[in-house]
Amino acid sequence: MAEVTQLIHHYLRHDKKFPHVFCPGCGHGIVLGSLIRSVHALSIAKDDVALVAGIGCSGRMAVYVDFNTVHAVHGRALTIATGIKMARPGMHVIVVMGDGDALSIGGNHFIHAARRNIGLTVLVLNNFIYGMTGGQCSSTTPTESWTTTSPYGALEKPFDIVNMATAAGANFVARGTVFHVKTLDRLVQQALTRRGFNVVEILTPCHTQFGRKNAFKTPVDMYMWLKKNAVPLESYEKLSPETAAKRIPIGIFAERDELPLEDRHAEMRRKLAGGKA
């Protein structure tokens, strides 16, 4: 316990007025814990980390943690992160976004950042809903779910973040959940150590806006749902098509080692300086 307390004191901002904004049962704190443990395990200096967050509940994460932090405007976290990374390629630039940020309002930036393969670690906190704005439908809301803007059930098909990131060209694409914490820590650590555009989609429950209105009576029910339905990729591939349709695979979906944009840029500069280009 003392060890945990020390970690908290080292990484959280003592001068920020707590308590935090996350609701009871929210998974965002678990993600924050995972991020801190991963940075600590990899011995990355706090000064070498820039954390850029979007808007909404996940966006508040940047306030609490003692890195160089930026709370961007809705959907644009990746654009600001791009500027920081290109200006300081040596830094670990981490982007924390919700599903609305990453795939709805910021969807264009998401696919282009992946296409560029710029060296960012991107955590997409997917809770299937717009939490802070009052529980409206997002681009990852499962079809037929109830939200305040789909009171008769969502009609649209949700985005698959993993497929989207993989198709757009990200170097590393993974999915984890806040229930499977050990796996999550491992995925976040890998994302932090790899070159290029690294995405970890993290399924995290929003009980307040999603769960209690979609047949999950308590926050625990949502965690139990994650436990049952999130299946490691290796096991998922062995399931019958009918069972697989109801489950969500977790694990690593893409591992490439293509040159990140900032390295390509450095290479061009070397050529130009040598008069070879």
Question: How far is it, in rounded angstroms, from Cα 63 to Cα 75?
Answer: 17
- Residue 242 as a binder of other proteins (CB under 8 A): the answer is no
- Positions 86 through 125 that interact with other proteins (CB under 8 A): 86-88, 90-91, 108-109, 112
User: Rule CB under 8 A: is residue 14 a binding residue for other proteins?
Assistant: no
Q: Could you say which of 8, 42, 83, 243 contacts other proteins (CB under 8 A)?
A: 83
Count residues binding other proteins (CB under 8 A). Answer: 40
Among 62, 122, 161, 174, binds other proteins (CB under 8 A): 62
- Binding part of the chain for other proteins, among 78-86, 155-163, 199-207, 248-256 by CB under 8 A, reads 78-86
CB of 66 to other proteins, least distance (A): 6
CB 165 within 8 A of CB 255: no
Binding to other proteins by residue 222, rule CB under 8 A? Answer: no
Q: Which of 162, 160, 116, 182 is nearest to 255 (CA)?
A: 162
CB of 170 to other proteins, least distance (A): 15
Binding status of residue 210 toward other proteins by CB under 8 A:
no
Alpha helix (H) ranges present in 76-173? Answer: 77-87, 99, 107-116, 161-168
Q: Is 199 in the site for other proteins (CB under 8 A)?
A: no
Residue 140 CB neighbours (<10 A): 22
Asked whether position 269 contacts other proteins by CB under 8 A, the answer is yes
157 binds other proteins (CB under 8 A): no
Q: What residues have CB less than 8 Å from 96, skipping those under 6 apart?
A: 31, 35, 51, 52, 53, 54, 58, 59, 61, 62, 77, 123, 125
Q: Does 63 bind other proteins (CB under 8 A)?
A: yes
**Residue 256: how many CB atoms within 10 A of its CB?**
15
Nearer to other proteins, 222 or 261 (CB): 261
In this structure, which amino acid lies at residue 66?
Answer: D
When asked if residue 197 is in the footprint of other proteins (CB under 8 A), the reply is no
For residue 49, list its beta bridge partners.
92
> Using CB under 8 A, which of the segments 74-82, 153-161, 207-215, 243-251 binds other proteins?
74-82
Please, what is the Cα angle at 131 between 141 and 133, to 5 degrees?
110
Q: Which of 18, 65, 72 is nearest to 46 (CA)?
A: 65
What is the contact surface with other proteins in residues (CB under 8 A)? Answer: 13, 15-17, 46-48, 50, 52, 62-63, 66-73, 76, 78-88, 90-91, 108-109, 112, 265, 268-269, 272
